[in-house]
Amino acid sequence: MKYKILVTDPISDTGISILKDNNCEVIDCTKDKSKISDIIHEIDGWIIRSGTQITPDDIQSATKLQVIGRAGVGIDNINLSSATKYGVVVMNVPDGNSISAAEHTMAMILTLSRNVHLGHSTLNEGSWERANLVGNELRNKTLGVVGLGRIGREVISRALSFDMKILGYDPYVNKELFNNDKVEIVDIDELTINSDIITLHVPLNDSTKDLFDSKRLSQMKKNSKIINVARGGIINESDLADALNNDVISGAGIDVFSSEPLTQDNPLSKAKNILLTPHLGASTYEAKEGVSLSICNQVVNFLKESKLDNAVNVPISDMGILKKLQPYLELSELIGKIQSQLIDEPVTKVKIDCYGPIDDIKPISIGLIKGLLSSIVDNRINYINALSIAEERGIELSNTFTPQIDKYANLIDCYVYTNNRTINVGGGVFFGNKFRILKFMDHEINF
């Protein structure tokens, strides 16, 4: 069978060759997206990067579409709920850009510290400003890393080679994973006040939006700098422009923006002492090649063998039992999300007890971990990487299965342990796939 694959953002030639070598017809609309509507109803797969928005109307029109492949991490530009509703698998490449983003962070730190960007621009203007562009060494400076996931840790590894002192902040990470001699874990206020340079590596969500506003920026040292290669919106752009123009802080390096592409009316475009780059964190040949190869192989493997790699919205590899387990997976993720709202310190252990007919407990456990961590990790968590992310953060996972239960047909009973608290939530699936919360903090309830 020949599959039609629509490609609407640039991927590597090697990736294109993988598709063609596996009996796929590649429809290239990277230079002219106006043709998409003419062929969308014919495609079996769709490969994108960050430059394509896939809307509910697109998914509804693509009546043969089976899989969307995102060559990279973020899936903000894909309407995930519509894809799930219409049975379209969404895949990404969660680890393909970590090194590139970390290296771009270091490039911005070095550029700001040594005034490279100002030296270049003044020379182009015909000025020799050497005396006015004295920079700073990184040695013995304090780097504050907000978000200690994969990219944050890659930045720390590189900063240590410059003999920098590291302050780390992540309210959900296990401090025992870090060597105290190399990384001091502190709260965000202490990090903000004491860092010479602050770099952000957290997701954009309700708790991180405008995390650095005028109030927090005013806590920084007057000669300090801030870097954002994570997501636009974590720093309030108007507040940052004011802080730079009024010498509240000495510089900023910004790669991501609340609205892209950057427009001339954005206050950062005219702020002083700022280094701007057009979302280049993942833009390296190596990252492009890596994510292209990965996503093309993933799409081919799914279309030919129904194999799921890094599937964001499909939790198990056996498609035959998906329908049977789906309500329990949704319930377990919901329980995890409820518990995440009650936690304000690192999780050390998660215990999941399943009762009744749901004997395939691994997907249930993954769903619960996914819900628990979905709002607090710095990359898109899915059913493939949930357990490895939990392991990275030092979370011990245990689960049990008991085939019989007295009061209910089934029960998913979860305990989340921190150093100081134990949080219990349990629930079941009732007739018509209705969800009920049946336990809360070891008390029997029903809502």
Catalytic residue among 114, 158, 279, 436: 279
SS (H, E, C) the chain: CCEEEEECCCCCHHHHHHHHHCCEEEEECCCCHHHHHHHHHHCCEEEECCCCCECHHHHHHCCCCCEEEECCCCCCCECHHHHHHCCCEEECCCCCCHHHHHHHHHHHHHHHHCCHHHHHHHHHCCCCCHHHCCCCCCCCCEEEEECCCHHHHHHHHHHHCCCCEEEEECCCCCHHHCCCCCEEECCHHHHHHHCCEEEECCCCCCCCCCCECHHHHCCCCCCCEEEECCCCCCECHHHHHHHHHCCCCCEEEECCCCCCCCCCCCHHHHCCCEEECCCCCCCCHHHHHHHHHHHHHHHHHHHHHCCCCCECCCCCCCHHHHHHHHHHHHHHHHHHHHHHCCCCCCEEEEEEEEECCCCCHHHHHHHHHHHHHCCCCCCCCCCCCHHHHHHHCCCEEEEEEECCCCCCCCEEEEEEEECCCEEEEEEEEEHHHEEEEEEECCEECCC
Distance CA 150, CA 156 (A): 10
Contact partners, residue 306, CB within 8 Å, separation at least 6: 319
Would you call 260 a catalytic residue per the annotation? Answer: yes
Catalytic residue among 129, 137, 176, 260: 260
Would you call 201 a catalytic residue per the annotation? Answer: no
Would you call 176 a catalytic residue per the annotation? Answer: no
Residue that is written with structure tokens 């953060």 in the block: 393
Catalytic residue among 70, 150, 201, 231: 231
Mark residue 244 as left, alpha or beta (left: phi above 0; alpha: psi -120 to 50; beta: remaining).
alpha
Catalytic site positions:
231, 260, 279
